[in-house]
Amino acid sequence: MIPRRARATSQSWLPARQVDGTILELDDGSLRAVLECPTLAFGLRGENEQRAVMHAWAGLLNSLPHPLQFLIQTRSMHPTALADSAGQSATEDGAHARLRSSFAQLAGSMSSYRRVVARRFYVIVPWDPITVTHLFSRRREQLNREGAVDMLEQRVRWVSEWLRRIDLEPIRLGGRQLATALYETLCADTARSQPLPDERTFADLAALVAPAALEERTAEVRLGDRRGRTLAVSHYPKRLIPGWLDSLHAFEGDLDVALHLLPGSRGDPYRRAALEDAEELQDRIARGEERLIEAALYLTVWADRDEGLESASQRMEALLGSQLIQSRRLLFQMEPGLVSTLPLGLDRVGLRRSLSTSALAATFPFTGNDLNQDRGLLYGINPEVRSPILLDRFRLENHNAVVFATSGAGKSFFVKVELLRAFLAGIRVHVIDPEGEYAPIVEALGGSVVTMHPGSPVSLDAFAVPNEVGALSSRIATLLGLFGLLAGGVSAVQRAAVEDALTYVYAAQGFTDEGDTEDLVPPTLRDIDAALERKTETTTGRTRSEIEELRLKLSRYVSGSGRWLFAPSPQRLATGDVAAYVLSGLPEEERAAAMFLVLDRVWSELGRGAAPTLLVVDEAWWLMQYPDTARALLRIVKTARKRRTGLTVVTQDVPDVLASDYGEPIVTNAAVQVLMRQAPQAMARLTKLFGLTETEQAWLLNARPGEGLLLARGKRVPFFLPATEEEMRMIKHGESRGGGA
């Protein structure tokens, strides 16, 4: 190939002048706004949902008043980018260092044996100036700039509203984000080692983001060591499968897909259209049911070697051919092709096809099942599209999660990996550990392990009231749940009697809802039992017999073998940054009560530090057996966000949890829902609750350990969870001492 004549400067070909806040200004004074959008799992939606999406998308096209560009960027994730995704802790001791080093090795191995990609979906909203010659050109230019910004903002609002109708929430890029969208494409290696400063304005943008060298050849463009080639779609079949762009996610390689739309006249029914029934189309255009849009679709493939570029080009051509779509290489037009696939809203090639809105509706660009935030913990790899699942629970609408799986499906493995990666990211971790399987990991991390057993010197302070306004009412509500658990359920009469007794004993000790409890002594269970005894002396008949029955059930904890749960002690429950509370040594009949008391005490201590906290409740079905404790757990779920706490509810007894009146609300109040392999008898209820498709049901019934379905941010993503060598070592060491599922 013969190179074309080199330009005077490496940045003279890039028509980008500056970034000013959320506005990208081009050399000719044109303005651009760039919106980043999430994706829709189009292929997993039902037929009616797909039809609704296509209808809304067609509505946007049919009312489009100005040009738009849609851009999909696919990039292989560099090992360092994946390794840095977990964040950085303030300290790096032995455990931190080993985990981080092992995680970096995992990131490198994942990138070497199977490409892990990151995708970004952009909408570029343009405003192009109207050239006017005027004596007072300087003043006219200033006026035009102000009017142009107003016009651009109107267009952004219009496009954003339509995207929301399609269930897409756009995020407008600005400052460094906007400049980086160009920088990472044109200077990929430099962008990793020398990121742009966090500034709002970049005055000389081309000089900043243009590559050091650009060479245009007949059928490729070279940016340093990278080679790029642009293909243009030249012919579409008569029918396209809705969401067909989803098939391009199977492409192995870095890729930019740019769809340029230029709306045509709504009222001219005589424009040519290469469709079978042109007369009917003309009538529909004349009636306003359809319109013609000039559409251009360009694809730039990237590689690091000449042979790699040719292989990538052939694979893309074959992929398009499988959809009966014809394409051609833009010979002698590689530079215009590159510009046309950058987020600039410029079509420098001009190879367009006239399509009706109904035909173009099949080219819905936001297809995909990616779940990838800028930062967060690595929850696995999506096997369908090879993208990492990076999620920061503390940036979601709430921070809670539920993990449902049958025994042996790997739910404990999943939670332990999350726990270790949360620790690595500087997140506090507390575990209610019924079987003692998390304790070895917590010990290895330098955390506190509190083993609860009869005669334990640790006080759970069940009746302590925080020094806060309104804390007394909250404490009484919590204790009502506890008494229901201790008695194995209470009647309405018994519940009222307990509430009266609690109100009385707290008042007798001087407690009020005004706070100021620092110098007050909380009541004891004996005080409450005495208040109930006095209640029997003033009542008769059924009420008296029910209260006596309640006292009999509580006697185990007042003076019997369970009294250790309420015994006072100067030693408080340890609540450091990492802690496990082991209940495996308890009699089964006391385990649920101890779990509730520990959860309550840990909960009262949360929110007092600046760091976010992950609170794991394993085998939560113990608490879901009784309405009062299930209600209390739901209350914690609903208020966790206020304390920067993410509650993780883990259970293998899915039917028992969902059978509770509070099970479904707990699930719906969890922003992250993890389903792993399920027993067939639980599938019907799960299918109804989560709206699982047949494909998803089959995936869950046949999932191997460590595989599952993760639901978050409106996405439903299949995953498999790879662990690092250090994570596996720590988990296996814990299993050899405690067990796991």
User: Quick one: pLDDT at residue 379?
Assistant: 92
In the chain, which segments carry CATH 1.10.8.730?
461-572
Q: What pLDDT does 358 receive?
A: 82
Write down the pLDDT at residue 197: 92
> Which CATH number applies to 461-572?
1.10.8.730
Question: pLDDT for 390-433, tens place per residue?
Answer: 899 999 999 999 999 988 899 999 999 999 999 998 899 999 98
Return the amino acid letter for 142: Q
434 close to 595: Cβ distance less than 8 angstroms: yes
pLDDT recorded at residue 309: 94
- Show the low-confidence residues of the chain (pLDDT under 70): 1-10, 43-46, 79-93, 111-115, 131-143, 265-289, 374, 457, 569-575, 607-610, 734, 736-741
pTM above 0.85, yes or no: no
User: How many whole angstroms separate alpha carbon 362 and alpha carbon 331?
Assistant: 28
pLDDT in the model for residue 603: 82
Cβ neighbours of residue 153 closer than 8 Å, sequence gap 6 or more: 33
The string of pLDDT tens digits covering residues 194-228 is 999 999 999 999 999 998 888 999 999 999 889 99
| Kind plus residue range of the DSSP H or E element containing 153 | helix 137-165
CATH hierarchy code of domain 398-403+411-458+574-671+725-735 = 3.40.50.300
Structure tokens at 153: 């903002």
Cα 730 to Cα 413, 432, 741, distances in angstroms: 11, 19, 15
Rounded CA gap, 485 and 249, in Å? 52
Number of helical (H) and strand (E) elements in the chain, helices listed first: 25, 27
CA distance 31 to 523: 69
CATH 3.40.50.300 region(s) of the chain?
Answer: 398-403+411-458+574-671+725-735
Residue 163: helix, strand or coil by DSSP? Answer: helix
pLDDT of residue 382: 86
